[in-house]
């Protein structure tokens, strides 16, 4: 005789519950099997290295090349105490923000054409947006060095000088890093945005137009709010990738524009202070993660309030 | 009755095969001692760390194939920079994989201090006797292979060579100085130069007076166009991006000059710096005997001559002569090194303070 478990006044037979669990397990088994390799892969190449990095950040490099045995906060205290590192963090965030805003402004028209324009033109724009991804970022950075070169050797300065507007000094400034980053990371903004716009029912925009909305009003009141999820993904990608980039600030910023990525590389490969490099890297990940989470929370809250208003 | 040679015999006794076998035998008879002497190395594989660039290419194409042939061994060469090579030695300290490492002179001090290397086996390296004594480092733990002189590179179409480093602070160079970045060794020379200018002391004393360098470097900032981190910086100056740059090793500048770029080097009166590429023997290295043979080969006059002509860096051994167009670019022989006042910093001291020097340089030059 089996025992009966009760949930309120309803009796649940044990046999039925057990068979339900078994069925659920059977359903989940393929998912576990499929996810297994990915989980192991990420554990091996991401979680464990990141864990080691965080652990290193609490150690200290000893003069004989070994790491200290005891945990310390010295690296984080140094990070906060020396104004150089505070300035670099601010520079990194400023460049990432400007790059994200710039990419957003450039990406919207492109995404609209991809999602709403004639199919042939949409496909052509998609290819144009994706094509630069086939070229190594170092090659692209060197291309920008030729374009933005100071003096008359730069293509931009040569063009500006020929119409009496130049020369200007852009290479080895923050602007060079922002321009290069916008070009390199633009596809990361365009593609999710185009996908989000593509999911908006055209009938909604048509309805807005039928009600007398101008194109600008339709974009501002309908397309823009409904594409915010894609915008969120794009902004997160562009901001994070810019904040952690190393090649572009190294080649276009000319060491005047230090970012966190270049500092990490310098500490690891030049100074050989792995713990301090790990502390900078950990701080970089935490700051970028915090900003992205805050941004996503803001978007989610805005959506929830809109939904509440609509209800 | 007719006799027919079996096919297999006819093939094996063909004239070509006989000639080949004869040649091999003759060679074997002619040099029996050679085969016997190097038989111990046959089939061994050795892992070494070398430099990149033209020096690395020369070693890969000219030195390694001949060495592998002579010792019937395999040499696996991995390219890297000094601190990268040190990192590999640290990672493999308990179970070394590398036998020989090429590092700059500053790396010899670090590797010895951390117990990563063994002294050079003098008895197995007869070519060490040909090396100028000044290029045997840290009590015989490292030996130079090539010596570059570090000075300023400039565009002759834009400026004259500088008499003194103090001229870098002149307003005529506003935003025209391409200063070496913090990642490479010559950034250390920048600090010593600034300390020497600020204190009026020679490099030997100025290297301990970095506190006087920082305010002086702040004064230089308006003249600095950028802090470069790539080897093409001299080329950018040649193309008109800035007028002067460095301090930089001659080996990164003269190849452009030889190709006709508008670039040259000058060594102001305060003196030039030595950029010394060295080789070291890894502690408890596998195949250490083979490593000693290889290190000895690297000091062979023919190898030293070829390396010097390829990289335009002076050899470490005496008694070599070069064509005039090459000789003019090398700090060679020893008397010319003395004329240039080639200075090597106290790396034990500089390595211990390098982290704070980089931090200070970043504070001054990061916008």
Distance CA B296, CA A56 (A): 40
For the stretch B133-182, pLDDT in tens is 999 999 999 999 999 999 999 999 999 999 999 999 999 999 899 999 88
Share of chain B above pLDDT 70, in %: 90
Å between A66 CA and nearest CA of chain B: 8
Residue A270 touches partner B, C-beta closer than 8 Å = yes
Distance CA B58, CA B315 (A): 14
> Hey, what CATH topology would domain B42-146+275-330 get?
D-Maltodextrin-Binding Protein; domain 2 (3.40.190)
Distance CA A172, CA A220 (A): 37
Work out whether the CA dihedral B171, B174, B177, B179 comes out positive or negative: positive
Q: Report pLDDT for A161.
A: 87
**Mean pLDDT for the stretch of residues A15-32:** 78
Distance CA A188, CA B294 (A): 50
For the stretch B281-309, pLDDT in tens is 999 999 999 999 999 999 999 999 999 99
> Does A254 contact B90 at a Cβ distance shorter than 8 Å?
no
pLDDT band at A14 (very low <50, low <70, confident <90, very high): low
- Write out the two tokens for A211: 């009600």
Residue to test with chain A: of B359, B360, B363, B365, most A Cβ within 10 A: B359
Share of chain B above pLDDT 90, in %: 67
Asked if the model's pLDDT at residue B61 lies above 80, the reply is yes
Å between A64 CA and nearest CA of chain B: 5
> Does B83 contact A270 at a Cβ distance shorter than 8 Å?
yes
Distance CA B144, CA B148 (A): 11
**Mean pLDDT for the stretch of residues B123-129:** 96
Candidate from B86, B226, B355 with C-beta closest to A254:
B226
Provide the CATH number for the domain formed by B148-274+344-365 in this structure. 3.40.190.10
> Does B113 contact A64 at a Cβ distance shorter than 8 Å?
yes
Q: Report pLDDT for B6.
A: 38
Residues of B in contact with A173 (CB under 8 A): 367
Q: Higher confidence at residue A295 or residue B297?
A: B297
Distance CA B123, CA B293 (A): 11
Cβ-proximal residues to A161 (8 Å cutoff; 6+ apart), any chain: A152, A167
Residue A258 touches partner B, C-beta closer than 8 Å = yes
Provide the CATH number for the domain formed by A83-310 in this structure. 1.10.3720.10
CA-CA distances (angstroms) from residue A231 to A28, A100, A188, A189, A238? 33, 10, 10, 7, 10
Where do you find CATH 3.40.190.10 in chain B? Answer: 42-146+275-330, 148-274+344-365
Q: Report pLDDT for A258.
A: 84
Asked if the model's pLDDT at residue B269 lies above 70, the reply is yes
Q: Report pLDDT for B24.
A: 44
> Does A271 contact B355 at a Cβ distance shorter than 8 Å?
yes
**Mean pLDDT for the stretch of residues B79-106:** 90
Residue B354 touches partner A, C-beta closer than 8 Å = yes
> Does B355 contact A273 at a Cβ distance shorter than 8 Å?
yes
pLDDT band at B33 (very low <50, low <70, confident <90, very high): very low
Return the closest-CA partner of residue A178 out of A253, A105, A121: A253
Q: Higher confidence at residue A235 or residue A307?
A: A235
Å between A38 CA and nearest CA of chain B: 28
Question: Is the pTM higher than 0.80?
Answer: no
Residue to test with chain B: of A254, A257, A273, A279, most B Cβ within 10 A: A254
For the stretch A183-228, pLDDT in tens is 999 999 999 999 999 999 999 999 999 999 898 999 989 998 899 8
φ, ψ of residue A61 in degrees (nearest 5)? -80, 125
Residues of A in contact with B352 (CB under 8 A): 63
DSSP letter string over B246-286? EEEEGGGTHHHHHTT-S-EEE--TT--EEEEEEEEEETT-T
**Mean pLDDT for the stretch of residues A172-185:** 94
Strands B142-154 and B177-180: unpaired
């Amino acid at each position: 005789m089996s025992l009966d478990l009760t949930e309120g006044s309803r009796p649940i037979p044990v046999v039925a519950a057990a068979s339900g669990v078994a069925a659920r397990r059977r359903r989940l088994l393929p998912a576990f099997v499929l996810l297994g390799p990915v989980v192991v892969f990420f554990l091996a190449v991401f979680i464990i290295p990141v864990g080691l990095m965080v652990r290193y950040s609490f150690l200290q490099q000893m003069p004989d090349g070994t790491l200290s045995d005891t945990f310390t906060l010295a690296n984080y205290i140094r990070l906060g105490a020396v104004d150089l590192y505070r300035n670099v963090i601010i520079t990194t965030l400023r460049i990432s923000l400007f790059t994200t805003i710039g990419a957003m402004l450039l990406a919207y028209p492109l995404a609209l054409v991809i999602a709403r324009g004639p199919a042939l033109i949409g496909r052509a724009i998609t290819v144009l947006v994706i094509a630069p991804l086939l070229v190594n970022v170092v090659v692209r950075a060197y291309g920008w060095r030729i374009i933005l070169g100071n003096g008359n050797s730069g293509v931009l300065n040569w063009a500006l000088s020929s119409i009496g507007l130049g020369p200007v000094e852009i290479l080895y400034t923050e602007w060079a890093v922002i321009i290069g980053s916008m070009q390199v990371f633009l596809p990361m903004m365009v593609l999710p945005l185009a996908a989000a716009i593509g999911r908006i029912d055209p009938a909604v925009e048509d309805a807005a137009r039928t009600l007398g909305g101008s194109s600008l009003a339709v974009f501002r009141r309908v397309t823009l709010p409904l594409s915010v999820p894609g915008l969120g993904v794009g902004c997160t990608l562009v901001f994070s990738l810019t904040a952690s980039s190393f090649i572009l600030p190294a080649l276009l910023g000319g060491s005047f524009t230090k970012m966190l990525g270049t500092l990490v590389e310098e500490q690891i490969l030049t100074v050989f202070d792995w713990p301090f490099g790990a502390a900078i890297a950990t701080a970089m990940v935490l700051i970028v993660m915090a900003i992205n989470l805050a941004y996503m929370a803001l978007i989610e809250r805005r959506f929830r309030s809109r939904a509440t208003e609509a209800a | 009755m007719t006799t027919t040679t079996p096919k297999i015999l006819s093939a094996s006794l063909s004239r070509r095969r006989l000639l080949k076998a004869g040649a091999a035998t003759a060679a074997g008879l002619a040099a029996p001692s050679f085969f016997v002497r190097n038989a111990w190395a046959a089939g061994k594989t050795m892992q070494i760390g070398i430099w990149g660039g033209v020096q690395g290419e020369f070693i890969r194409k000219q030195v390694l194939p001949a060495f592998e042939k002579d010792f019937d061994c395999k040499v696996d060469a991995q390219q890297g920079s000094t601190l990268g090579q040190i990192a590999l030695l640290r990672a493999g300290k308990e179970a070394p994989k590398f036998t020989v490492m090429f590092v700059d002179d500053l790396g010899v001090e670090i590797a010895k201090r951390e117990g990563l290397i063994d002294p050079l086996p003098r008895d197995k390296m007869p070519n060490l006797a040909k090396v100028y004594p000044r290029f045997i480092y840290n009590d015989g733990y490292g030996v130079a292979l090539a010596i570059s002189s570090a000075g300023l590179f400039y565009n002759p179409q834009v400026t004259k060579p500088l008499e003194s480093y103090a001229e870098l602070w002149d307003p005529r160079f506003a935003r025209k100085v391409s200063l070496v970045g913090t990642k490479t060794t010559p950034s250390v020379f920048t600090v010593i130069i600034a300390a020497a200018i600020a204190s009026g002391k020679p490099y030997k004393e100025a290297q301990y007076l970095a506190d006087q360098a920082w305010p002086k470097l702040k004064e230089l900032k308006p003249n600095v166009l950028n802090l470069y981190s790539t080897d093409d910086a001299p080329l950018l100056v040649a193309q008109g991006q800035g007028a002067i740059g460095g301090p930089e090793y001659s080996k990164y500048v003269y190849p452009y000059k030889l190709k006709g770029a508008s670039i040259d080097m000058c060594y102001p009166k305060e003196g030039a710096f030595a950029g010394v590429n060295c080789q070291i023997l890894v502690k408890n290295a596998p195949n250490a005997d083979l490593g000693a043979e290889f290190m000895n080969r690297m000091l062979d006059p023919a190898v030293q001559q070829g390396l010097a002509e390829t990289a335009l860096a002076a050899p470490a051994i005496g008694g070599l002569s070069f064509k005039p167009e090459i000789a003019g670019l090398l700090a060679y022989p020893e008397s010319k090194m003395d004329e240039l006042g080639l200075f090597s910093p106290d790396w034990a001291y500089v390595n211990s303070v390098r982290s704070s020097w980089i931090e200070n340089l970043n504070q001054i030059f990061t916008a």
